[in-house]
């Protein structure tokens, strides 16, 4: 626990407002106000070396032209003291950052970063402050990042015009997702008069209407310290941070008279029912409609009201025992609950939503009737008291847990309270849930407590019912309208204007090709890289069980896993592994039904789940090992219940609840189908590498595009009751086989609890033993593919994969660096800046011994595949600076050294060791990374990538796929 911050921790240009210790998180949060501008600074002092910075700005667009989103991009394209074309991406290469990004939400834009290195932190702070408050906003950068029109054939005024721009293509990709369209449509109607009515990212049809002057005007009012909040986390004192921020930025500003705020939404006096269409390029549109009901609630900044709303939402929707979730899962009106189910508290005012997908348009009334009947029943009868207590238990557990495996821990705390900070609420209160949780513990004892919460929802007339139905003609109409608009623009151009467009395109290309003086940017060097990496080591134990223990600061939580070697599996059983893993903790257990079991899990744990891990060995990707893990976490006060539950799950899981299995398969199919446009690049890379190794083939079958087809077929088969019973039998048999394989135990907790945990675990499992060996194996595989997977999308995702070597091979380090080197030096410019894709890159996957290129939300297809090859020629035909090599090495090392949560780091160390990746092996590989030379990069490129017959897979539309030719296998997802 850090010391309480006081006025002494404040720079002279700031006023100290208050500070508060939050014991459960081990932090102290202080609020400061900049005297001159009114900017608020919240500093979360913590004993963490990973320091985090975020500047957030209230950005309140009044239309859907994407001004806030395009400004977020353009602001990072050069600033007053760093007048280079691309300082943001340059700094990603000159840094040891553990996180760098910029994000546009509905009512704020934020610029966060994190670093464990103090020098690097202040380098990034310098660049970020200048980018936000002193951006150049060059018109050419606006055209590159936002939108522009160019002739399809460069320099040919007789060719058609087309729209280009990174954000334009990004939002085409984003709005190809039915879930994104669903969210945008719901909020459009739920918020008729405030900024949330608009698409802050930008609607593709509206983005070309944004002018450069509008962007500049928006910047002048919104990107000012008076409209900003700064939030920091870590062990750098607030006064040191404020000194730097004052000197580099704030001293040059005076308070802005303009106040940017969001008014309360005007309320409906009766519910609204609407229907819209979304693009789906399929002949059969049955079972593809979404229905959602949404209520607008009170202010998000009211912590007590927010927690009550969360409690109500969780009681209604958290798991299959929750009344509304159960109704949405089991109804014949749809195939699965909507992804939009739950409470949304990031806007100024909260909203509660529920819905179904996989429905029909004519089911809207029946869906609404079902939801209201469930809510009426809860409002009249309530729910068991243990449900309320279980959900408060979940809120407490979430408050206590130290995360950080995806986001830096400090950033997750900041993001959880950013909405309150920018909307003039109290972010400190949002971080300190304990006092309100204690109050709620008493309040839920009152009769009719949850009934009153639900009755208040039912009596709220500001309600929207949205039906989003598929339309297989929408894309054609939209594309025709875009072409007609472009034809109209072209027809209006005189010869001088046509030449001006050609000159402007050439000007932009010249700017994209210019070589900037990067020396004006700060940087770290290899001398700043720590000599060694930190890998958690287990504590030696003397146990009668195969038992591994890690002593970690987990803030009163215990993490336990049972790890079993996979048995020999048939191909059918291999394909069923993900479904089995999910169902193991979703079905009943012993005497408990699946609903009772999920309720019990909620009462005593922070979650129980299972997963299979299959990887090649470090010296041979064809030599595959497989493990199955049953994992759980709980507060230390619930340790015995967690241990008992995991054993009971393994011993007594039941697969006889056929209707539940049918529901889950349908839900999984729907989720997988919805994931394509959001994860298209990952799916394309998986497909391109699918025959590079046995593990890659299984990943494609169980997680990739093939798994979507597998679940679609399975879902259709299960309409036959005999097939459903057969599936149940297969799952039960698979469970029986896994039960019998050798197992070991992993426990992560604080040292003071470990002895008691070991004793409890040994007492529970003593005398049990497995009866059969493992025997898991997969046949060797090394083949090529050329595939085009088609779906409803306005953009493409491209991947190309080359066979290489596993991690222990001497060339693996150079191949790992090569990915960053090609991205930094060629791919980013060619595919993102010139090509207009939202992202691109390359990298070595040593697990599958494959080097993979990819693009994300890409308006091009064959041109991008050609650019992948062109990057190799660029590498081999040019001389390169040592500085560029150093930047690539820094990027890889910072990724290797990126910290996780205390428990996450321990679990990663343990599971790495299962596959032969010991701490010594991982450290040795990191050491090899630091020794890679430019000659090594050219050598491995010639050896593995030049003139090689690569595998290619793309995710694209049917129209784009037709352009690829006969060499490609065309597959409809």
Q: Which residues contact 613 (CB under 8 A, 6 or more apart)?
A: 626, 627, 628, 629, 911, 914, 915
Q: Which two tokens stand for residue 48?
A: 């963490």
The string of pLDDT tens digits covering residues 362-379 is 999 999 999 999 999 999
What is the C-alpha separation between 551 and 23, in angstroms, rounded? 21
The residue whose two tokens read 């090529």 is 784
Closest-CA residue to 705 (of 736, 679, 725, 740): 679
Q: What is the pLDDT of residue 531?
A: 86
- pLDDT for 26 beyond 70: yes
Closest-CA residue to 644 (of 760, 768, 767): 760
What band does 404 get if pLDDT is binned at 50, 70 and 90? confident
- Start-to-end CA span in the chain (Å): 52
Q: Which two tokens stand for residue 958?
A: 């049917």
Q: What is the pLDDT of residue 425?
A: 86
Strand duo 797-803 + 850-856: pairing: antiparallel
Helix orientation angle between 694-702 and 680-688, rounded to the nearest 10 degrees: 140
DSSP 759-817: HHHHHHHTT----S--B----------EEEEE-S-SSBEEEEEEE---TTSTTHHHHHH
Q: What is the pLDDT of residue 967?
A: 87
What is the C-alpha separation between 294 and 637, in angstroms, rounded? 37
The string of pLDDT tens digits covering residues 307-349 is 999 999 999 999 999 999 999 999 999 999 999 999 999 899 9
Please check whether residue 697 is in contact with residue 707, taking contact to mean a CB–CB distance below 8 angstroms: no
Closest-CA residue to 106 (of 557, 418, 485, 375): 418
The string of pLDDT tens digits covering residues 144-201 is 999 999 999 999 999 999 999 999 999 999 998 999 999 999 999 999 999 999 999 9
More confident call, 294 vs 23: 294
What is the C-alpha separation between 132 and 147, in angstroms, rounded? 21
The string of pLDDT tens digits covering residues 773-796 is 668 999 999 999 999 999 989 999
What is the C-alpha separation between 50 and 233, in angstroms, rounded? 8
Q: Which residues contact 158 (CB under 8 A, 6 or more apart)?
A: none
Average pLDDT over residues 609-625: 96
Q: Which helix (H) or strand (E) segment is 511 a member of?
A: helix 495-513
What band does 9 get if pLDDT is binned at 50, 70 and 90? confident
What is the C-alpha separation between 910 and 918, in angstroms, rounded? 9
The string of pLDDT tens digits covering residues 678-698 is 899 999 999 999 999 999 999
Strand duo 349-359 + 289-299: pairing: antiparallel
| Helix residue ranges per DSSP H, 878-932 | 882-897, 902-914, 919-929
Closest-CA residue to 736 (of 650, 661, 662, 657): 650
Please check whether residue 511 is in contact with residue 82, taking contact to mean a CB–CB distance below 8 angstroms: no
Q: Count Cβ atoms below 10 Å from residue 353 Cβ, excluding itself.
A: 24
- pLDDT for 50 beyond 80: yes
Closest-CA residue to 696 (of 821, 804, 567, 819): 804
Length of the chain: 973
Please check whether residue 806 is in contact with residue 616, taking contact to mean a CB–CB distance below 8 angstroms: yes
Q: Which two tokens stand for residue 282?
A: 């399929």
- The backbone torsions φ and ψ at residue 464, rounded to the nearest 5 degrees and listed phi first, read -125, 135
Average pLDDT over residues 873-885: 96
Percentage of the residues of the chain whose pLDDT score is greater than 70: 99
What is the C-alpha separation between 786 and 959, in angstroms, rounded? 17
What is the C-alpha separation between 779 and 777, in angstroms, rounded? 7
- pLDDT for 1 beyond 60: no
**Residue 18 DSSP label:** E
Please check whether residue 636 is in contact with residue 556, taking contact to mean a CB–CB distance below 8 angstroms: yes
Q: What is the pLDDT of residue 402?
A: 86
What is the C-alpha separation between 973 and 770, in angstroms, rounded? 41
Q: Which two tokens stand for residue 508?
A: 């932009």
The string of pLDDT tens digits covering residues 528-548 is 999 889 999 999 999 989 999
What is the C-alpha separation between 127 and 613, in angstroms, rounded? 41
Q: Which helix (H) or strand (E) segment is 609 a member of?
A: strand 607-617
If DSSP codes are grouped into helix, strand and coil, which group holds residue 662? helix
Average pLDDT over residues 574-582: 97
What is the C-alpha separation between 877 and 866, in angstroms, rounded? 16
All domains of the chain, ordered by start, with CATH?
A: 272-413+425-471 (3.30.830.10), 547-765 (3.30.830.10), 786-972 (3.30.830.10)
Q: Count Cβ atoms below 10 Å from residue 956 Cβ, excluding itself.
A: 24
Q: What is the pLDDT of residue 966?
A: 86
Q: What is the pLDDT of residue 773?
A: 66
The string of pLDDT tens digits covering residues 226-278 is 999 999 999 999 999 999 999 999 999 999 988 898 989 999 999 999 999 99
**Rg (Cα) of the chain, in Å, rounded?**
28
Q: Which two tokens stand for residue 663?
A: 């529901």
Longest dimension (CA), the chain: 89
What is the C-alpha separation between 795 and 788, in angstroms, rounded? 13
Please check whether residue 334 is in contact with residue 642, taking contact to mean a CB–CB distance below 8 angstroms: no
Q: What is the pLDDT of residue 762?
A: 94
Please check whether residue 551 is in contact with residue 751, taking contact to mean a CB–CB distance below 8 angstroms: yes
Angle among Cα 363, 369, 374 to the nearest 5 degrees reads: 125
- pLDDT for 2 beyond 60: no
Helix orientation angle between 449-458 and 364-381, rounded to the nearest 10 degrees: 150
What band does 851 get if pLDDT is binned at 50, 70 and 90? very high
CA distances (Å), origin 439, targets 391, 392, 637: 14, 11, 21
Q: Which two tokens stand for residue 881?
A: 């600076």
Residue 137 burial class via C-beta count within 10 angstroms: exposed 0-12, middle 13-18, buried 19 and up: middle
385 torsion bin: left (phi>0), alpha (psi -120 to 50), beta (else)? alpha
What is the C-alpha separation between 70 and 222, in angstroms, rounded? 13
The string of pLDDT tens digits covering residues 886-911 is 999 999 999 999 999 999 999 999 99
- Average confidence score pLDDT of the chain: 94
Q: Which helix (H) or strand (E) segment is 357 a member of?
A: strand 349-359
Average pLDDT over residues 426-442: 90
Q: What is the pLDDT of residue 552?
A: 95
Helix orientation angle between 658-674 and 705-717, rounded to the nearest 10 degrees: 140
If DSSP codes are grouped into helix, strand and coil, which group holds residue 292? strand
């Amino acid at each position: 626990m850090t010391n309480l911050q006081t006025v002494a921790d404040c720079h002279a240009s700031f006023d100290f407002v208050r500070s508060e210790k939050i014991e459960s998180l081990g932090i102290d949060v202080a609020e400061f106000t900049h005297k001159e501008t009114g900017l608020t600074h919240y500093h979360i002092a913590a004993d963490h070396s990973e320091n985090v910075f975020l500047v957030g700005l209230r950005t309140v667009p009044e239309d859907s032209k994407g001004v806030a989103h395009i400004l977020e991009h353009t602001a990072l394209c050069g600033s007053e003291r760093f007048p280079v074309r691309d300082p943001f991406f340059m700094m990603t290469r000159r840094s040891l950052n553990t996180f760098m990004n910029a994000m546009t939400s509905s009512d704020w834009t934020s610029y966060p970063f994190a670093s464990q290195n103090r020098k690097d932190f202040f380098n990034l702070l310098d660049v970020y402050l200048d980018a936000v408050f002193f951006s150049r906003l060059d018109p050419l950068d606006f055209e590159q990042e936002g939108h522009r029109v160019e002739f399809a054939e460069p320099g040919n005024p007789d060719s058609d015009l087309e729209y280009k721009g990174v954000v334009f293509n990004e939002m085409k990709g984003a709005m190809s997702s039915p879930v994104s369209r669903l969210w945008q449509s719901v909020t459009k109607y739920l918020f008729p008069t405030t900024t949330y009515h608009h698409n802050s990212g930008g609607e593709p049809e509206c983005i070309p209407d944004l002018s450069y002057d509008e962007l500049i005007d928006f910047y002048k009012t919104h990107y000012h310290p008076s409209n900003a909040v700064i939030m920091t986390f870590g062990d750098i004192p607030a006064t040191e941070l404020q000194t730097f921020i004052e000197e580099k930025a704030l001293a040059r500003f005076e308070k802005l008279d303009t106040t940017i705020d969001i008014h309360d939404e005007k309320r409906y006096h009766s519910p609204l029912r609407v229907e819209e269409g979304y693009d789906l390029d399929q002949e059969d549109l049955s079972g593809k409609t979404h229905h959602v009901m949404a209520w607008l609630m009170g202010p998000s900044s009211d912590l007590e009201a927010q927690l009550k709303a969360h409690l109500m939402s969780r009681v209604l929707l958290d798991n299959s025992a929750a009344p509304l979730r159960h109704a949405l899962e089991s109804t014949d009106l749809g195939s699965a609950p909507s992804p939009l189910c739950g409470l949304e508290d990031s806007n100024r005012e909260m909203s509660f939503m529920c819905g179904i997908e996989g429905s029909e348009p004519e089911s809207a009334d029946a869906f609404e009737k079902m939801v209201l009947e469930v809510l009426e029943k809860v409002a009249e009868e309530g729910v068991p008291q243990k449900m309320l207590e279980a959900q408060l238990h979940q809120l407490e557990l979430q408050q206590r847990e130290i995360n950080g495996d995806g986001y830096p821990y400090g950033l997750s705390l900041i993001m959880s309270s950013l909405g309150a900070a920018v909307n003039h609420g109290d972010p400190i209160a949002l971080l300190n849930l304990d006092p309100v949780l204690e109050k709620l513990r008493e309040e839920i004892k009152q009769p009719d407590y949850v009934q009153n919460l639900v009755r208040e929802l039912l009596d709220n007339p500001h309600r929207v019912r949205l039906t989003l139905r598929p339309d297989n003609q929408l894309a054609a109409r939209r594309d025709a309208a875009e072409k007609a608009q472009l034809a109209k623009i072209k027809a209006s151009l005189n010869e001088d204007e046509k030449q001006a467009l050609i000159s402007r395109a050439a000007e932009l290309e010249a700017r994209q090709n210019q070589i900037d003086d990067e020396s004006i940017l700060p940087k770290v060097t290899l001398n700043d890289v720590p000599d060694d990496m930190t890998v958690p080591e287990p504590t030696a134990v003397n146990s009668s069980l195969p038992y591994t223990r890690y002593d970690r600061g987990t803030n009163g939580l215990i993490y336990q896993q049972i790890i079993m070697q996979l048995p020999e599996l048939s191909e059918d059983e291999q394909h069923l592994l993900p479904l089995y893993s999910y169902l193991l903790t979703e079905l009943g257990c012993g005497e408990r039904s699946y609903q009772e079991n999920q309720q019990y899990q909620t009462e005593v744990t922070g979650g129980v789940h299972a997963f299979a891990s299959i990887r090649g060995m470090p010296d041979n990707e064809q030599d595959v090992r497989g493990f199955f893990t049953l994992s759980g976490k709980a507060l230390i006060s619930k340790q015995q219940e967690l241990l008992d539950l995991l054993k009971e799950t393994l011993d007594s899981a039941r697969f006889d609840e056929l209707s539940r299995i049918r529901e889950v398969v349908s839900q999984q199919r729907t989720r997988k189908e919805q994931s394509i446009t959001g994860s298209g690049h990952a799916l394309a890379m998986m497909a391109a590498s699918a025959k590079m190794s046995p593990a890659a083939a299984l990943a494609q079958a169980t997680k990739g595009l093939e798994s979507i087809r597998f679940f679609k077929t399975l879902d259709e088969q299960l309409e036959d009751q005999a097939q459903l019973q057969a599936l149940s039998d297969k799952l039960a048999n698979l469970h029986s086989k896994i039960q019998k394989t050798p197992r070991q135990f992993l426990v992560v907790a604080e040292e003071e609890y470990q002895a008691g945990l070991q004793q409890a675990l040994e007492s529970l499992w003593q005398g049990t033993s497995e009866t059969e060996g493992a025997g898991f194996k997969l046949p060797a595989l090394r083949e090529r593919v050329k595939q085009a997977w088609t779906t409803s999308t306005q953009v493409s995702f491209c991947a190309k994969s080359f066979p290489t070597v596993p991690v222990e091979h001497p060339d693996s380090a150079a191949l790992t660096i090569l990915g960053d080197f090609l991205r930094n030096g060629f791919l980013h410019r060619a595919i993102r800046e010139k090509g207009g894709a939202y992202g691109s890159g390359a990298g070595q996957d040593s697990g599958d011994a494959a080097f993979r290129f990819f693009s994300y939300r890409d308006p091009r297809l064959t041109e991008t595949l050609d650019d992948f090859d062109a990057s190799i020629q660029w590498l081999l035909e040019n001389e390169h600076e040592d500085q560029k090599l150093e930047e690539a090495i820094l990027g890889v090392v910072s990724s290797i050294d990126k910290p996780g949560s205390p428990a996450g780091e321990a679990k990663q160390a343990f599971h790495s060791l299962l596959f032969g990746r010991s701490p010594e092996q991982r450290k040795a590989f990191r050491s090899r990374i630091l020794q890679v030379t430019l000659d090594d990069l050219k050598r491995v490129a010639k050896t593995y990538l030049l003139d090689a017959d690569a595998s290619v897979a793309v995710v694209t539309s049917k129209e784009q796929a037709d352009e690829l030719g006969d060499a490609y296998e065309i597959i409809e997802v």
